[in-house]
Amino acid sequence: MNDFWIILTACLVACSCSILGCFLVLRRMAMIGDAISHSVLPGIVIAFLLSGSRESLFMMLGASVIGLVTVFLIQWFHQSGVQSDASIGVVFTALFALGVLLVSLYTRQVDLDLDCVLYGEIIAVPWETLQVGGTEIGPKAVWALGLVLTLSVVLIGVFYKQFKICAFDPAMAAAVGIPVALFHYLLMGLVSVTTVASFESVGAILVVGMLVVPAATAYLLTEVLSRMIFYSMGIGILSAVSGYYVSVALDASIAGCMITMAGVLFVLALLFSPSHGVLIRKWRQKRSAARMA
């Protein structure tokens, strides 16, 4: 049963991150996901200091606020003349360093350490259960991630057309009256909430892998956004499941094996994708050259 909960948690993380990752990849904002996944650390610590609780709701609120602050600062610096990549680097390293400082100063006596935040430990998920009326109803992580996934699916489903136009052509979106800034910050807020909900299972460092790699792999396989989203989720689930069993066989880090398997799938797509595959294109070129000869 423990294996089931671990795999289910990993699949929920993969789906939550993969859906949002498609829009980050299309908008060429993959590094924004990396920045948010690191910079929300001070928000988590501040939420803990204010509430005195490690409950996921407080953590999500704190992370969401700092995530939006991160995006605002990056855009502000960029509009002020700083290069985009430099803006991202300055903001996320400064906020992440602030979070590390706060952890080391104020949370030494509680279970909120850097190993927990950075690396996570999905193997402990089955033992941290949620109780209602004295009855256990499953791991807390499963419920938290399930709610986050539901929130993302509902918002993106309801505003799919707006998110799609903003991703492909922000200028056109603005011209037809879509509030581009609103949907931009809504997307960033979802990324922030998903990131902190995934902390205890995959950690801040590895969550960016699930945000970017499955979506980038799906991008190589299709040019239709709806298919890209479903492909990305499927690739994320496959990476999570296969990564778990690889980690069991090797007695290695579960989260590390999951992202490694996602990387393997990306390389396979890069080599053999029908439209973008490197080897497929070379094979087609050779066949065309042979026909012309």
Contact call for residues 188 and 32 (beta carbons, < 8 A): yes
Q: Is the pLDDT higher at 156 or at 54? A: 156
Mean pLDDT across the stretch 193-210? 75
Using 50, 70 and 90 to split pLDDT, how confident is the model at 217? very high
74 vs 154, more confident:
154
Q: What share of the chain is helix, strand, coil (3-state, %, to 5)?
A: 80, 5, 15
- Side-chain half-sphere CA neighbours of 151 within 13 A: 17
Question: What is the dihedral angle through the alpha carbons of 141, 126, 210, 64, rounded to the nearest 10 degrees?
Answer: 20
Q: What is residue 117's predicted lDDT score, i.e. its pLDDT?
A: 58
Compute the mean pLDDT over every residue in the chain, rounded to the nearest whole number: 83
Distance between CA atoms of residues 155 and 198, nearest Å: 19
Residue 242 has which token pair?
């296969």
Distances, alpha carbon 210 to alpha carbons 48, 251, 263, in Å = 26, 21, 10
> What percent of the chain shows pLDDT beyond 90?
27
DSSP per-residue letters across 1-23: -HHHHHHHHHHHHHHHHHHHHHH
pLDDT value of residue 265: 95
pLDDT band at 20 (very low <50, low <70, confident <90, very high): very high
Please check the confidence at residue 108 and state whether its pLDDT lies above 90.
Answer: no
Question: Who contacts 57 (Cβ-Cβ below 8 Å, separation ≥6)?
Answer: none
Percentage of the chain exceeding pLDDT 70: 89
| Residue-by-residue DSSP string for 202-214 | HHHHHHHHHHHHH
Query: Which residue do the tokens 């903003």 mark?
Result: 166
Residue 106 confidence class, pLDDT cut points 50, 70, 90: confident
Check if the beta carbon of residue 56 is closer than 8 Å to that of residue 197: yes
- What is the C-alpha to C-alpha distance for residues 43 and 60, in angstroms, rounded to an integer? 9
Least confident residue range of 137-146, 147-156, 239-248: 137-146
Q: Is the pLDDT of residue 85 over 90?
A: no
Mean pLDDT of 151-168: 93
Tell me what pLDDT residue 227 has. Answer: 93
The residue that leads in pLDDT, 129 or 14, is 14
Q: Which of these ranges, 44-48, 181-185, 221-225, has the smallest mean pLDDT?
A: 44-48
- The residue with greater pLDDT, 24 or 276, is 24
Measure the CA–CA gap between 237 and 117, rounded to whole angstroms. Answer: 23
| Span 175-184, pLDDT tens digits | 988 998 889 8
Q: In this model, does residue 159 exceed pLDDT 90?
A: yes
DSSP per-residue string spanning 147-216 = HHHHHHHHHHHHTHHHHHHHHH-HHHHHHTT--HHHHHHHHHHHHHHHHHHHHHHHHHHHHHHHHHHHHH
Range of 91-100, 246-255, 257-266 with top mean pLDDT: 257-266
Calculate the CA 240 to chain-centre distance: 13
Residue 37: name the closest of 246, 199, 247 by CA. 199
Give yes or no for residue 101 having a pLDDT over 60: yes
pLDDT digits (tens, 9 = 90+) for 110-144: 555 555 555 566 777 777 777 777 777 888 888 88
pLDDT value for 234: 95
